[in-house]
Amino acid sequence: MFVILGDDGILFSLKMSNFFQIIKKEKIAPNGFLFRIKAPEVALHAKPGQFFVLRVNERGERIPLTLVRWNRRSGTIDFAFQVIGKTTHLLSKLKEGDFLKDVLGPLGRPSEIKYYGTVALLAGGFGAAAMLPIANALKEAGNNLVTILGARSKDYLILEKELRRLSSKIYVMTDDGSYGIKGFVKDGLEMASREYDIAHAYVIGPAIMMKFTVAACQELGIPNTVSLNPIMVDATGMCGSCRVNVGGKTYFACVDGPEFDGSQVDWNLLLNRLSAYLNEEKHSYELFLKKKGVLPRGKEKKA
Amino acid sequence: MAKKKRPERQKDKSIPFKERISTFKEVPLGFTVRQALLEAERCLECKRPRCIEGCPVSVPIKDFIQLIKKKEYLKAAEKIKEKNALPAVCGRVCPQEDQCEKVCLLAKVDKPVAIGKLERFAADYEAKKLKEPKKPDVKKVSPRRNIKIAIIGSGPAGLTCAADLALMGYRVTIFESLHEPGGVLTYGIPEFRLPKRIVRREVNYIKSLGVELKLNHAIGATLQLDELFERGYEAIFIGVGAGLPQLLNIPGENAVGIYTANEYLTRVNLMKAYLFPGYDTPIKIGQNVVVIGGGNVALDAARTALRLGARSVTIAYRRTENEMPARIEEIEHAREEGIIFRFLISPVEFLADDNNVLTAIKFQLMELSEPDESGRRKPVPVPGKFETLPADLAITAIGTKANPLITKTIPGLKLNSKGYIEADEFGRTSREGVFAGGDIVTGAATVISAMGAGKNAAQAIQEYILKKYQIKQKI
Ligand SMILES: Cc1cc2nc3c(=O)[nH]c(=O)nc-3n(C[C@H](O)[C@H](O)[C@H](O)COP(=O)(O)OP(=O)(O)OC[C@H]3O[C@@H](n4cnc5c(N)ncnc54)[C@H](O)[C@@H]3O)c2cc1C
Ligand SMILES: Cc1cc2nc3c(=O)[nH]c(=O)nc-3n(C[C@H](O)[C@H](O)[C@H](O)COP(=O)(O)OP(=O)(O)OC[C@H]3O[C@@H](n4cnc5c(N)ncnc54)[C@H](O)[C@@H]3O)c2cc1C
Ligand code: SF4
Ligand code: SF4
Ligand code: FES
């Protein structure tokens, strides 16, 4: 038993089993990590396409991250994240053996896995992590996989080996041409579509990448599924923070998604809503970095 | 009757409104001992105390007031707790004017006894005197201690049901999806109306009865209901509340700057965004805030926005003040704090700039119709009359729906046409061994009615278990 002093000075006692220990930490890109944590209940029910929510500490934000791998027997889950703000920064500073404050999952509707024929997997940046379990399941369902993996440069490519193993062909795209082919994921798609008769595409990555890649799919007449990543709070359908517009209707991505028909998504709305707290987040992050001595004092901008 | 002149109904002090609007401190300060004694003096000690009939959990009102009269404050608190495990909460948030105080006999000739404030007084007194809440004797070696009961949701319904079952000697586990217990008491009702230390104290009391609390467990996602049976829980109580926010379904409602009250209040209360960046969850600070709705939730959102630093906060309600469902005390406080009330207007469109950030709201002007068969006057549009209010932040508080996360994942559970769980007054559902109560059965209601439902269900669960075991084994 642990005893923790709550914010209001009232003692809390917690059982060990309520803690979520970090078993493994691996740096997989200059800006990102892969973690393996103990979360037996999440591992027990996880399915491809689902995510979970974590909190780093008592004052922390709830952030959603996609489930990459899970092991029922050892009760662990894997996830990959890139450092972009305060919470992911704090997360990146945790070490093997440390504990996360809260872990809730699995959440969201699992992917609808079926046989399509040839499926194109279009992954941008850390979208590759979210793609991996879906790729496994699609492969198991008998699909032929063609993967197009994109990143800004060689160092930022993640899970290439794992995805390569599942695919009959992989196109690696880098923005700067430091590895593979110079270009974006949508350029890779155009190449692939000349070689393969693509029945369906999965598109996962930053919203802006999904927007343009889906447009390319539409031009080529390829039906597609995307995994949306709006800002979430509870992630259980209670608040409406994650609302997205698909086919003219409002959905809550955390319970109705995160996967939707990409051609129906209102991308501009998603992009607008994703940047809603940009100033606040920047302010919070800079204040935090300044306190840590990473940024010189007095340089941060007011929110 | 004594000839002594009856004292006037006592009113507790509030912190000055200038201080109020810049902090999240609790507004009403509660009775002093002197005020409590004067107020208790007013009770007529009726032979047939009607007040008790007005209370959904039948708090022994007359008895506890008598104990206050005798200055036995701790005993008064204990007396209340025989029926109500959360007196400090109810004394603060019950709509007393519609419940116990409405039927108080004194209300016929004078103002009713301030039952709620007295209840709060007794509970607060106890909290001040005793570090740990006093707990009734739980039989340590109850033969039922090996019978496991699961409670889903740690709102007032779940907490009450858990407390009662623990007192009967069962082994109770609460599964809660959020990272804090308390339900709406924690994520909905703001600090200035219900300090979170009070909720935590009450939750700790329930834990001290031996109830186990499993946070971060969303039933229907983390575990399915039937897996709880597989894990040896003999009966299950569902008290998951009415969590899904209703949307207006009008153009523009997904623009940046439009919150549902659930999101706004969850960010502020559960995630403590009012302490941002000390806490990590951000919240938008509006200049001109418009809150749409007229209930407790709308008022809580409006008063929160004011405290966060809004220049003006307007409540837009489509009926008139008479129909407002919010507690009278809250409406008074909101007025004092400078919240603007606009009645008989209903939003038709949200207007936004090029970046899709809210700039204004277009309203349809309304009027009340002639009373219909039920005597209710409905708001109807005044043809062609519109008004646009500038707003950079809007909060919609127009009600909630049943959260489908759990109800949709339980095979064989009967729901009504609105998606709420069908249950009788003892919480019995269409599934054997599954009970339900609170907002997930009635739709959004009150703290105390959810508690009443939790209590009734605890009784029904007891009956169910006894019946089941009379056949199998004797206890
Ligand atoms: C279903 C889902 C799955 C995701 N899976 C992954 C993943 O596998 N790997 C990964 O690196 N990232 C993933 N994300 C994004 C990840 O949640 C954000 O990067 C993270 O919340 C950023 O937090 P921060 O405090 O470090 O940055 P902040 O400074 O708070 O935010 C930076 C940006 O991240 C986004 N963001 C912030 N808060 C949230 C929030 N609570 N929910 C969603 N987005 C937010 C916003 O666009 C914001 O502008 C996923 C998001 C969703 C919704
Ligand atoms: C802002 C606001 C102000 C209010 N003010 C008042 C007031 O002044 N007076 C009054 O009497 N009433 C008030 N109410 C109403 C009152 O709070 C509710 O009627 C009452 O809380 C309902 O209790 P409950 O136990 O049914 O559900 P809730 O309090 O909603 O609790 C349900 C709990 O279940 C959890 N849960 C949901 N789904 C799952 C799942 N799948 N698995 C596990 N856990 C789950 C939720 O996280 C939550 O903690 C207010 C409500 C709001 C929103
Ligand atoms: S619990 Fe609520 S209704 Fe019952 S006596 Fe107390 S204040 Fe009145
Ligand atoms: S009805 Fe009013 S006066 Fe009578 S016992 Fe109850 S509180 Fe006292
Ligand atoms: S994140 Fe709250 S409803 Fe989806």
Closest alpha carbon to A190 in A168, A219, A167: A219
Closest alpha carbon to B246 in B418, B53, B42: B418
Q: How many Å apart are CA B390 and CA B361, to the nearest integer?
A: 6
Confirm if A45 and A106 have CB atoms less than 8 A apart. yes
Say which residues have a Cβ less than 8 Å from residue A102's Cβ, sequence separation at least 6: A20, A53, A54, A55, A62, B179, B215, B216
The DSSP bridge partners found for residue B212 are B173
Q: Give domain A2-107's CATH architecture.
A: Beta Barrel (2.40)
Per-residue confidence (pLDDT) for residue A299, from 0 to 100 = 45
CA A182 to chain centre: 24
Atom of ligand 2 nearest to the CA of B262: 53
Per-residue confidence (pLDDT) for residue B6, from 0 to 100 = 84
> Which ligand gives the minimal distance to the CA of B91?
3
The third-level CATH classification (topology) of the domain covering A118-274 is: Rossmann fold (3.40.50)
Is-same-fold flag (A2-107; A118-274)? no
Ligand 1 pocket, residue A213 CB under 6 Å: no
> Which ligand gives the minimal distance to the CA of B97?
3
The answer on pLDDT for A167 being more than 50 is yes
Interface A–B counts its CB contacts (< 8 A) at: 126
Task: Please choose from B50, B97, B103 the residue to mutate so as to test ligand 4's pocket, defined by most ligand atoms within 8 A of CB.
Answer: B50
Domain layout of chain B by residue ranges: 17-129, 148-243+400-469, 247-396
Per-residue confidence (pLDDT) for residue B407, from 0 to 100 = 85
Per-residue confidence (pLDDT) for residue A4, from 0 to 100 = 44
B chain contacts of residue A236, beta-carbon cutoff 8 Å: 177, 218, 221, 243, 403, 405
| Residue B278 at interface with chain A, using a CB cutoff of 8 Å | yes
Atom of ligand 1 nearest to the CA of A285: 29
Please tell me which of the candidates A86, A105, A243 has its beta carbon nearest to residue B280: A86
Average confidence score pLDDT of chain A = 88
pTM of the model: 0.91
The answer on pLDDT for A298 being more than 80 is no
The third-level CATH classification (topology) of the domain covering B247-396 is: FAD/NAD(P)-binding domain (3.50.50)
Q: Between helices A185-195 and A207-220, what is the axis angle to 10°? A: 30
Per-residue confidence (pLDDT) for residue A297, from 0 to 100 = 56
Question: Does the distance separating the beta carbons of B221 and A236 come in below 8 Å?
Answer: yes
| Residue B262 at interface with chain A, using a CB cutoff of 8 Å | yes
Q: How many Å apart are CA B199 and CA B208, to the nearest integer?
A: 14
Structure tokens at A163: 């995805």
pLDDT, tens digit, 9 for 90 and up, residues A113-140 = 999 999 999 999 999 999 999 999 999 9
Task: Please choose from B178, B184, B215 the residue to mutate so as to test ligand 2's pocket, defined by most ligand atoms within 8 A of CB.
Answer: B184
Q: How many Å apart are CA B130 and CA B74, to the nearest integer?
A: 9
How far are the Cα atoms of A91, A295, B115 from residue A292, in angstroms, in the given order?
Answer: 15, 8, 52
Confirm if A202 and A189 have CB atoms less than 8 A apart. no
Q: What b/e string do you get for B330-345 counting C-beta neighbours within 10 Å, with b at 16 or more?
A: bbebbeebebebebbb
| Residue B408 at interface with chain A, using a CB cutoff of 8 Å | no
Residues of chain B below pLDDT 70: 1-4, 134-144, 471-475
Q: How far is B216 from chain A (nearest CA, A)?
A: 5
The third-level CATH classification (topology) of the domain covering B17-129 is: Fumarate Reductase Iron-sulfur Protein; Chain B, domain 2 (1.10.1060)
The DSSP bridge partners found for residue A79 are A35
Closest alpha carbon to B153 in B173, B136, B127, B171: B173
pLDDT, tens digit, 9 for 90 and up, residues A191-242 = 888 999 999 999 999 999 999 999 999 999 999 999 999 999 999 999 999 9
| Residue B179 at interface with chain A, using a CB cutoff of 8 Å | yes
The answer on pLDDT for A181 being more than 50 is yes
Question: Does the distance separating the beta carbons of A240 and B263 come in below 8 Å?
Answer: yes
Q: How many Å apart are CA A227 and CA A254, to the nearest integer?
A: 11
Atom of ligand 2 nearest to the CA of B218: 42
Per-residue confidence (pLDDT) for residue A302, from 0 to 100 = 40
Please tell me which of the candidates A60, A255, A272 has its beta carbon nearest to residue B356: A272
Please tell me which of the candidates A61, A103, A243 has its beta carbon nearest to residue B216: A103
A chain contacts of residue B200, beta-carbon cutoff 8 Å: 6, 8, 10
| Residue B309 at interface with chain A, using a CB cutoff of 8 Å | no
Q: How many Å apart are CA B361 and CA B343, to the nearest integer?
A: 15
Q: For the domain B148-243+400-469, what is the CATH code?
A: 3.50.50.60
Structure tokens at A175: 């923005």
CA-nearest residue to A287 within chain B is: B277
Ligand 4 pocket, residue B284 CB under 6 Å: no
Closest alpha carbon to B154 in B197, B191, B204: B204
Q: How many Å apart are CA B300 and CA B427, to the nearest integer?
A: 30
ipTM value of the model?
A: 0.91
Amino acid letter for position A233:
V
Q: Between helices B115-129 and B61-69, what is the axis angle to 10°? A: 60
Please tell me which of the candidates B272, B280, B355 has its beta carbon nearest to residue A87: B280
Strand A243-246 to strand A181-182: parallel, antiparallel, or no bridges (unpaired)?
unpaired
Per-residue confidence (pLDDT) for residue B142, from 0 to 100 = 60
In angstroms, what is the span from residue B331 Cα to ligand 3's centroid? 19
| Residue B346 at interface with chain A, using a CB cutoff of 8 Å | no
Which of A232, A239, A271 would best serve as a mutation to test chain B binding (most B beta carbons within 10 A)? A239
pLDDT grade, residue A9 (50/70/90)?
A: very low
Which of B176, B199, B216 would best serve as a mutation to test chain A binding (most A beta carbons within 10 A)? B216
Please tell me which of the candidates A104, A241, A250 has its beta carbon nearest to residue B263: A241
Task: Please choose from B115, B117, B447, B451 the residue to mutate so as to test ligand 3's pocket, defined by most ligand atoms within 8 A of CB.
Answer: B115
Ligand 2 pocket, residue B438 CB under 6 Å: yes
Q: Could you give the strand order of the β-sheet that contains B379-390, starting from the edge strand earlier in sequence?
A: B345-352, B358-368, B379-390
Question: Does the distance separating the beta carbons of B267 and A236 come in below 8 Å?
Answer: no
Ligand 2 pocket, residue B427 CB under 6 Å: no
Is-same-fold flag (B17-129; B148-243+400-469)? no
